[in-house]
Amino acid sequence: MADKPTSGEILGVPYNFERPSIGRMLSSYWQPGKSMLVEKPFGVGYTLNLANWRSWVIVGVAALLLWKESTDGSDETEESEPVEVLVDDE
C-alpha cells in the first residue's frame, strides 16, 4: 500500500496535512513581498498574509461589519404592535 502525500494541490487548491509547528504557523501568516493570499499552514485552501496592507483592509471591514451588527441588534427594546392579517376565502 502506497503512502498518501500529506501536501500538494487538488484542482489548483493547495492542501497540507503535515503536523504544524509554531515556526511554520507564524511564518505562514507573515510573508513580506508575497500577495494578499498565501497557502494555509494546515488544512485546505488559502489564508490572509498579514504582511500585506490589503489584508488589514479586509480585517478592518470585517470588524466594522461585526461591530455594526452587534450595535444594531441591541436597540430593539421597544415592542412592535401586532399586525392583523385578513384572508379572503372566495
Q: How far apart are CA 36 and CA 58, in angstroms?
A: 10
45 close to 14: Cβ distance less than 8 angstroms: yes
For residue 24, what pLDDT is reported?
A: 86
82 within a domain of the structure (yes/no): no
Q: Per-residue confidence of the chain (90 residues) as pLDDT tens digits?
A: 568 888 899 899 999 998 888 988 888 899 999 999 999 999 999 999 999 999 999 999 999 999 999 888 655 556 678 889 889 887
76 within a domain of the structure (yes/no): no
Domain residues for the domain of 29 are 7-70
Q: How far apart are CA 11 and CA 48, in angstroms?
A: 20
Give the total number of structural domains in the chain: 1
Q: pTM of the full predicted structure?
A: 0.64
For residue 57, what pLDDT is reported?
A: 96
For residue 62, what pLDDT is reported?
A: 96
